[in-house]
Chains A and B, each alone.
Chain A
Amino acid sequence: MSAIIQHLIDAVSLGGIYALAALGIGLIFGIMGLINFAHGNFFMIGAYVIFLMSGRPVLIVAATTLVVVILLALSSDRFVFRPLRGAGGPTLLIASFGLAYLLENIILMIFGGRPKAVDFGHGLVESVTIGSVRISQLDIFTIATTAVLLTGLTLFLRKTRYGTEMRAAASDFRMARLLGIRANRVVATAFAVSGVLAAAVSFLLVAQTGAVIPGMGLIPVLFAFVATIMGGLGSLPGAALAGFILGFGSVGLQIVLPHDLVPYRDAFLFTLVVIIYALFPGGLMSGLRRQGGERV
Chain B
Amino acid sequence: MTYASNIENPRTSIQYLAGQVSPAVSLILILLIISLVSSLFGTDLIQLAVIEMLVMVVVVVGLYMFIGNSGIVSFGHPVFMLLGAYCTAWLTLPVPFKQMNLPGLPLFLAGHQYNVFLAAIISGGFASVFAGVTGIVLMRLSGLAASMAMFCVLVVVHMVYANWDAVTLGLSSIVGLTTYVNVWVAFGWAAVAITVAYIYQSSRLGLALRATREDEVAAEASGIHIMRQRMVAFVLSAFFVGVGGALYGHYLGAISVSTFYITITFITLAMLVIGGMRSLCGAVMGTIVVSVFVELLRELENGINLGGIALTIPTYSQELGLALLMILILVFRPKGMMGDKELQWPLGIGMKRRLRIRERVEE
In the complex, A touching B (Cβ < 8 A): yes
Given A89-B144, A229-B145, A296-B143: A97 and B269 interface contact (C-beta under 8 Å):
yes
Which residues of the other chain, A, contact B319 by a CB distance below 8 angstroms? 101-102, 105, 108
**A93-120 with Cβ < 8 A to chain B:** 93-95, 97-99, 101-102, 104-106, 108-109
Which residues of the other chain, B, contact A123 by a CB distance below 8 angstroms? none
Residue contact A270 to B143, C-beta cutoff 8 Å: no
B299-323 near A? 1/0 per residue, CB < 8 Å: 0000000000000001111011011
Residue of B nearest to A263 (CB): B163
| A: number of interface residues (CB 8 Å) | 43
Which one of B71, B145, B277, B316 contacts A277 once the chains associate, using CB atoms below 8 Å?
A: B145
Which one of A83, A109, A267 contacts B331 once the chains associate, using CB atoms below 8 Å?
A: A83
Nearest CB of chain B from residue A47's CB, rounded to whole Å: 18
Which residues of the other chain, B, contact A281 by a CB distance below 8 angstroms? 140-141, 145
Which of A87, A93, A98, A273 is the most central at the interface, judged by chain B CB atoms within 10 Å of its CB? A98
Binds B, one of A63-71, A183-191, A218-226: A218-226
Residue contact B323 to A278, C-beta cutoff 8 Å: no
Nearest CB of chain B from residue A193's CB, rounded to whole Å: 21
Residue contact A277 to B163, C-beta cutoff 8 Å: no
Query: How many B residues are at the interface, by size bracket?
Result: 35 or more
Residue contact B331 to A266, C-beta cutoff 8 Å: no
Residue contact B327 to A275, C-beta cutoff 8 Å: no
> Does residue A21 face the partner (Cβ distance < 8 Å to B)?
no
Residue contact B140 to A226, C-beta cutoff 8 Å: no
B51-65 near A? 1/0 per residue, CB < 8 Å: 000000000000000
Given A102-B327, A105-B320, A278-B138: A229 and B148 interface contact (C-beta under 8 Å):
yes
Given A102-B320, A222-B151: A35 and B160 interface contact (C-beta under 8 Å):
no
Residue contact A222 to B269, C-beta cutoff 8 Å: no
**A74-91 with Cβ < 8 A to chain B:** 80, 83-84, 87, 89-91
Residue contact B314 to A109, C-beta cutoff 8 Å: yes
Residue contact A277 to B326, C-beta cutoff 8 Å: no
Given A267-B159, A267-B160: A278 and B137 interface contact (C-beta under 8 Å):
yes
Nearest CB of chain B from residue A99's CB, rounded to whole Å: 7
Nearest CB of chain B from residue A96's CB, rounded to whole Å: 10
> Does residue B253 face the partner (Cβ distance < 8 Å to A)?
no
Which residues of the other chain, A, contact B163 by a CB distance below 8 angstroms? 263-264
Residue contact A87 to B334, C-beta cutoff 8 Å: yes
Residue contact A296 to B160, C-beta cutoff 8 Å: no
Given A93-B144, A101-B323, A278-B140: A218 and B159 interface contact (C-beta under 8 Å):
no
Nearest CB of chain A from residue B293's CB, rounded to whole Å: 14
Q: Is the interface of B mostly helix, strand, loop or mixed?
A: helix
Residue of B nearest to A229 (CB): B145
Residue contact B141 to A275, C-beta cutoff 8 Å: no
Residue contact A98 to B137, C-beta cutoff 8 Å: no
Residue contact B266 to A97, C-beta cutoff 8 Å: yes
Residue of A nearest to B144 (CB): A296
Which residues of the other chain, A, contact B277 by a CB distance below 8 angstroms? 90
**A246-295 with Cβ < 8 A to chain B:** 263-264, 266-267, 270-271, 273-275, 277-278, 281, 294
> Does residue A196 face the partner (Cβ distance < 8 Å to B)?
no
Residue contact A35 to B316, C-beta cutoff 8 Å: no
> Does residue B1 face the partner (Cβ distance < 8 Å to A)?
no
B152-165 near A? 1/0 per residue, CB < 8 Å: 11011001100100
> Does residue A233 face the partner (Cβ distance < 8 Å to B)?
yes
Residue contact A277 to B141, C-beta cutoff 8 Å: yes
**B173-195 with Cβ < 8 A to chain A:** none
> Does residue B349 face the partner (Cβ distance < 8 Å to A)?
no
A114 to B339, CA, bound (A): 41
Residue contact A267 to B266, C-beta cutoff 8 Å: no
Which residues of the other chain, B, contact A104 by a CB distance below 8 angstroms? 262
> Does residue B147 face the partner (Cβ distance < 8 Å to A)?
yes
A294 to B141, CA, bound (A): 11
Which residues of the other chain, B, contact A93 by a CB distance below 8 angstroms? 73, 144, 147
Which residues of the other chain, A, contact B315 by a CB distance below 8 angstroms? 109
> Does residue B203 face the partner (Cβ distance < 8 Å to A)?
no
Known: A35-B148, A84-B330. 15 other contacts (CB 8 A): A83-B331, A87-B334, A89-B143, A90-B147, A94-B330, A95-B331, A98-B270, A101-B319, A108-B319, A109-B317, A215-B262, A222-B151, A226-B148, A270-B156, A273-B152
28 contacts between A and B (CB under 8 A): A80-B331, A83-B331, A87-B330, A87-B334, A91-B334, A93-B73, A93-B144, A94-B273, A94-B326, A94-B330, A98-B323, A98-B326, A99-B323, A101-B266, A102-B319, A102-B323, A105-B319, A105-B320, A108-B319, A109-B315, A109-B317, A109-B320, A229-B145, A233-B144, A266-B159, A277-B145, A278-B138, A281-B141
Which 4 residue pairs are nearest across A and B when measured between Cβ atoms?
A296-B143, A102-B323, A109-B316, A105-B319
Chain B residues at the A interface, C-beta cutoff of 8 Å: 71, 73, 75, 137-138, 140-145, 147-149, 151-153, 155-156, 159-160, 163, 262, 266, 269-270, 273, 277, 314-317, 319-320, 322-324, 326-327, 330-331, 334
